[in-house]
Amino acid sequence: MKLSRKLSLLTVSLACAFAAHAQTVKETPNSQFKPTGKGWGELDNVATAASNGKAGGASRGSSSSNLSFHGGPVMTAPKNLYYIWYGSQWDAASQNVLTNIGQHLGGSPYFNINSTYYDAAGTHVQNSLTLAGTTANSGTYGTQLSDANIASIVSDAITSGKLPADANGVYVVLTDHSTTATSGFCTQYCGWHDHTTISGKDIKYAFVGNAETQCASACGATSPSPNNTPGADGAASVLAHEVEEAATDPDLNAWYSNLDGSENADKCAWNFGTTSTASNGAQYNQTFGTMKYLIQQNWLIASTQRCVQHYP
């Protein structure tokens, strides 16, 4: 698996996912993929749509890697961000880096890229994201988390009353540097997003790992990092990636590419665009509040589809 920062970890995972599918599913020129939330697609079952040549509202067999709309819901309303600090090895400096970006991501020219996305009614995503709540879990599920464990961490925080059940929320499980996700952290992904029903509501959530001591070369920030916290600085870019995908493709059936199942942030993974040099020698391309960050670009769908750092 990829450890070079020149090639996206997600891109390598995509190739691996395709290879796995090739063992069991025959791909044809009419094949199309749907997203998994982990940066690669899985072959969609388009048989039921064969009569009209469409699946999920998009043409089958599209050869374009651009994103298209498949009819699913989009988070158009103002969004609330919720953090769940998981593990006992968090330090104040790292938490400050991630708290600051959570407080300033919404309303920024960077997050405004998502306002080019819209739902079936033509309503666009609002450039509004508020860090509305945080809670901590010292490690009730241990340091080797399954996908089901991560969903349970979110469910526990909501059902216990520590965080509200908010259909307009994105709940992010931020793990400390001693915790991993067993379905592929560091080898197949750096983070992912999904949704589930909790307390009768469609809850959007994400996993963002801290790579500082586990795989800094794959998922962390370059050294020196903008805020001298390589794990948190790397996680900040992954956080932005997952939140913007949750906003534009919350249920994994709205905006994605038929060709490979990639979502908007997948299209620009590890693509930082033009950078500047901070006083400590670190590269950065975004300033949120008073802090500098190296954040991947996001995919713009207005006019020519492409990776950009801000909109307009």
| Per-residue pLDDT, 65 | 86
Mean pLDDT of the chain: 86
> Per the domain annotation, does 59 fall within a domain?
no
> Per the domain annotation, does 45 fall within a domain?
no
> Per the domain annotation, does 223 fall within a domain?
yes
Number of domains present in the structure of the chain: 1
What proportion of the chain, given as a percentage, has pLDDT over 70?
84
- The range of the structural domain enclosing residue 97 comes to 79-254+277-308
pLDDT tens figures, 176-198: 999 999 999 999 999 999 999 99
pLDDT tens figures, 56-87: 222 223 335 899 999 999 999 999 999 999 99
Residue 11: CA atoms inside 13 Å, Cβ hemisphere, count? 13
Report, as an integer, the average pLDDT of 269-273: 96
The pTM assigned to this predicted structure is: 0.87
One-letter amino acid at 291 equals M
> Per the domain annotation, does 157 fall within a domain?
yes
Residues 6 or more apart from 294 whose CB is under 8 A from it?
Answer: 221, 222, 225, 226, 233, 237, 272, 275, 282, 283, 284, 285, 286
pLDDT tens figures, 155-166: 999 999 999 999
Report, as an integer, the average pLDDT of 191-210: 98
One-letter amino acid at 109 equals P
> Per the domain annotation, does 103 fall within a domain?
yes
> Per the domain annotation, does 24 fall within a domain?
no
> Per the domain annotation, does 41 fall within a domain?
no
| Per-residue pLDDT, 57 | 27
Are residues 248 and 117 in contact, defined by beta-carbon separation less than 8 angstroms?
Answer: yes
More confident residue, 287 or 52: 287
Report, as an integer, the average pLDDT of 230-251: 98
> Per the domain annotation, does 46 fall within a domain?
no
Cα distances from 178 to residues 143, 203, 241, in angstroms, run 7, 27, 22
The lowest-confidence range among 10-19, 137-146, 193-202 is: 10-19
Are residues 245 and 265 in contact, defined by beta-carbon separation less than 8 angstroms?
Answer: yes
On the question of pLDDT at 88 being above 50, the answer is yes
| Per-residue pLDDT, 30 | 56
Phi first, then psi: give them for residue 291, nearest 5 degrees.
Answer: -110, 145
Range from 11-15, 240-244, 301-305 that averages highest in pLDDT: 240-244
Query: Binning pLDDT at 50, 70 and 90, where does residue 45 land?
Result: low
pLDDT tens figures, 26-36: 344 556 899 99
